[in-house]
Amino acid sequence: MITTEIIFWTQIGSIVGFLLALFVLYRLLVEQKEATIQLQRENIAFLKDKLADAKLQSPDVLAQSLAGRVKLFEEELKRLEQDKYSTAEQVAAKEVELAQARFEAEALTKKVVHARELLRDYLCPHCGAPLVERAYHSEMVEHEGRELDIDHDWSTFECGLEIVDGLERHPCKSQSNGVAQKDLNHSFQPPSTAAELKR
């Protein structure tokens, strides 16, 4: 025979079991979010390291050097063509060297453009300032009698720009001061073609 006391302790046990299961699920969700945040921090650190390496390699210096080589080869080619004693082999060899230099310049330009595309999410869209912090926050809300878990994406850049869920909460300092983007961005702007490298 089931007594009231047995029913009472059974209900207490089921409530405690429910609370324990709820706590375990909560801890799993928190650990998953913490792992996601840690992964984002590692990605940011990795991309900052890559950006620092790219700055150390000075793509603008490399591009200027390649542009100088292209100009030097063109001048030498013109000189050889004007020289009545030059041979067709010398001209052909210099043309091959010129084509190689142009190819290297275009490859470098493509690499720089690709690196900028990869870093787009980690730079301010207005002035190019680096990302300081990206965090994800969760919020529980009740809507039509149901509880919903809403994730918020929060990003802050060195220039003061703050973006929450894709909307600008605080403006970029370059916009609030009325300064144009090209005036603030002194970093290397890659030429789009090898012809621009020659200028």
Q: What is the pLDDT of residues 155-192, one digit of tens each?
A: 898 898 898 888 888 888 887 665 433 333 334 344 44
Look up residue 129 and give its DSSP letter.
Answer: P
Summarised one tens digit per residue, pLDDT across range 12-66 is 999 999 999 999 999 999 999 999 888 888 988 898 888 777 776 666 667 777 7
Residues in the chain: 199
Q: What is the Cα–Cα distance from 81 to 86, expressed in whole angstroms?
A: 7
Residue found by looking up tokens 């089931």 in the block: 2
- Residues spanned by the domain of 52: 1-56
Residue found by looking up tokens 């390496």 in the block: 53
Of 56, 72, 98, which closes a domain?
A: 56
Contact predicate 192/109, CB 8 Å: yes
3-class DSSP state of 130 = strand
The predicted pLDDT at position 85 comes to 59
66 and 12 together in one domain? no
160 and 191 together in one domain? yes
Query: Which residues lie below 8 Å from residue 172, measured CB to CB, with a gap of 6+?
Result: 124, 126, 127, 129, 157, 159, 160, 161
Q: What is the Cα–Cα distance from 140 to 26, expressed in whole angstroms?
A: 12
95 and 25 together in one domain? no
Summarised one tens digit per residue, pLDDT across range 107-126 is 888 888 888 787 777 888 88
Structure tokens at 186: 């002194």
pTM equals 0.38
Look up residue 142 and give its DSSP letter.
Answer: E
Task: Quote the number of domains for the chain.
Answer: 2
70 and 39 together in one domain? no
How many other CB atoms are there within 10 angstroms of residue 159's CB atom?
22
Q: What is the Cα–Cα distance from 188 to 47, expressed in whole angstroms?
A: 18
